[in-house]
Amino acid sequence: MTSTEAFDAVQIITIKRDKGTLTPEQIDWTIDAYTRGVIAEEQMAALNMAILLNGMDRAEISRWTAAMIASGERMDFSSLTTPDGGRKPTSDKHSTGGVGDKITLPLAPLVAVFGVAVPQLSGRGLGHTGGTLDKLEAIPGWRANLSNAEIMAQLQDVGAVICAAGSGLAPADKKLYALRDVTGTVEAIPLIASSIMSKKIAEGTGSLVLDVKVGSGAFMKDEARARELAETMVALGKDAGVHTVALMTDMSTPLGLTAGNAIEVEESVEVLAGGGPEDVVDLTVRLAEEMLAGAGIHDADPAAALKDGRAMDVWNRMIEAQGGDPRAALPVAKESEVVYAPADGVLVELDALSVGVAAWRLGAGRARKEDTVQAAAGVRLHAKPGALVRAGEPLMTLLTDTPEKFDRAKEALANAVVIAPEGSRPAHRLIIDRIA
């Protein structure tokens, strides 16, 4: 610390250690000083732990988020125009991640059908949760990295873009997240909320819908903590002047019938063609309705736009605009192995975490950010909870290019399935609650 610094790190740590409240000036200094390297990694790690243990109030979290936004650039979509020369509304969706969660793929073009610009800045997968960019990179030629000028041009022309977030948005968050990841403080709700919302607010969208997953395959496995996170993020959006709504949705079982990269693209195209699994369609339509309402559009029928091909038209244009060929064949796994039902009855549980870990072990995910993924690897499901199954029938097919991975994937699935006597009903709510 130099003599010109307004505060010192030990002072800030001590305040939170003793359950005190940081002033706006102290928070602004902390984020700025950490970004500049004045606060050492071990000092910020201590502060993160104090925040994990003692929390932050709403004003602290809001200011912390604002300071993270101020560490970088903000995107501005005010120049986007409608055909009649008006200002084009913007809306975005963020999911906290899950197994088989390919919703962004059909959702972005669906919302764009109705004249709303969708700047969907997405990420890659880590561990058992898949990454949107990894899925789309299974499409030949498609590229994730776009300049701000390319993003603006595509939003004006096509209406939707799914791409990587630039390094200029909330750079303090990237540094903070890496530290939280190795110091056991990822679970701190004030830090989770500010991490997500700093990037989304800096992105410049006019309205935001949050899909907060709850269940074994989600980051938040406990409903009470998921609700706290949803409420905290909605409050942060409100404080920043961004219309924000959260849906709490179930992630105890995978979404749809696929968990992987290419196979999730395939399933998304089925949804855009008017088919696809019921849960994927239902959640896509519900999130589209929320995004459109946030953009001031209340008379739209997104379900009809899936069935009549309008959303598919936008999808094709969006993929082509980023160098992809939407009609090209997707990668197919070289090897497959079937997992069979062990008994007769009703499938009442299909554990999302087990399926996600199996897909990861087959090559669909990565253990470290530097790892590569197999585009064709994953798990294809043949039955979902509620289905009547017979012993020896296929329950799922495992896909990979490296067959030596099958054994460990099957280990992950050892307790994934519960089959109950006929007449049993699974306990499953796709949408648990709406927070606004």
Give the Å distances, CA to CA, from 46 to 39, 92, 195.
11, 34, 18
pLDDT in tens, 112-160: 999 999 999 988 776 677 789 999 999 999 999 999 999 999 999 999 9
373: closest CA among 136, 165, 98? 136
Q: Is the CB of residue 317 less than 8 Å from the CB of residue 180? A: no
How much is the pLDDT for 370? 74
Q: What is the mean pLDDT of residues 24-53?
A: 96
End-to-end, the C-alpha distance of the chain in Å comes to: 43
What was the pLDDT predicted at 430?
A: 95
The token pair that represents 323 in the structure block: 């160098």
Rounded to whole angstroms, the Cα distance separating 27 from 390 reads 59
CA angle (67, 176, 8) in 5-degree steps: 65
CATH (residue range 1-74+168-190)? 1.20.970.10
What's the whole-number mean pLDDT along residues 282-309?
97
Is residue 264 pLDDT above 50, yes or no? yes
CATH 1.20.970.10 placement within the chain: 1-74+168-190
Specify the domain boundaries for CATH 3.90.1170.30 within the chain. 335-420
Question: Could you say which DSSP state residue 403 is in?
Answer: G
Does position 3 have pLDDT exceeding 80, yes or no?
Answer: no
Q: Which residues in 133-155 are b (16+ Cβ under 10 Å) and which e?
A: bbbbbbbeebebebeeeebbebb
Sequence-ordered list of residues with C-beta below 8 angstroms from that of 150, at least 6 positions apart, any chain: none
Distance CA 282, CA 111 (A): 14
CA 348 to chain centre: 26
Residues of the chain above pLDDT 90, percent: 87
- In this structure, are residues 263 and 331 in contact, taking their beta carbons and an 8 Å threshold? no
Q: Where in the chain is the domain with CATH 3.40.1030.10?
A: 91-167+191-321
What is the identity of the amino acid at 432?
I
Banded pLDDT at 281 (limits 50, 70, 90):
very high
Residues 6+ apart with CB under 8 A from 20: none
Q: Which residues of 250-278 are buried (b: 16+ CB within 10 A; e: fewer)?
A: bbbbbbbbbbbbbbbbbbbbbbbebebbe
Six-digit token string for 305: 């736009």
Q: What is the pLDDT confidence band of residue 1, given thresholds at 50, 70 and 90? A: very low
Contact 272, 109 (CB under 8 A): yes
* Tally of residues, the chain: 436
Residue given tokens 């997992």 in the structure block: 339
Active site residues: 94, 173, 180, 195, 199
Q: Check: CB of residue 91 under 8 Å from CB of residue 292.
A: yes
The average confidence (pLDDT) of the chain is 94
Strand (E) or helix (H) holding 314:
helix 310-321
Strands 207-214 and 243-250: parallel
Which pair of structure tokens corresponds to residue 184?
Answer: 């056991």
- 38-63 average pLDDT score: 97
Q: What's the average model confidence in pLDDT over 22-46? A: 96
Q: What is the mean pLDDT of residues 421-426?
A: 86
Name residue 59's amino acid. A
Provide mean pLDDT across the span 257-270. 98
Query: What are φ and ψ of residue 261, in 5° steps?
Result: -115, -75
Which CATH number is 91-167+191-321 given? 3.40.1030.10
What is the mean pLDDT of the segment spanning 167-191? Answer: 88
CATH number of 335-420: 3.90.1170.30
Confidence (pLDDT) at 127 = 66
Q: What is the CA radius of gyration of the chain?
A: 22
Higher pLDDT, 166 or 64: 64
Lowest mean pLDDT among 89-93, 102-106, 427-431: 427-431
Share of the chain above pLDDT 70, in %: 99
pLDDT of residue 129: 74
* Residue 2 pLDDT > 60: no
The confidence score (pLDDT) of residue 167 equals: 75
As a whole number, mean pLDDT of residues 309-333 equals: 98
Indicate if the pLDDT at residue 428 is higher than 60. yes
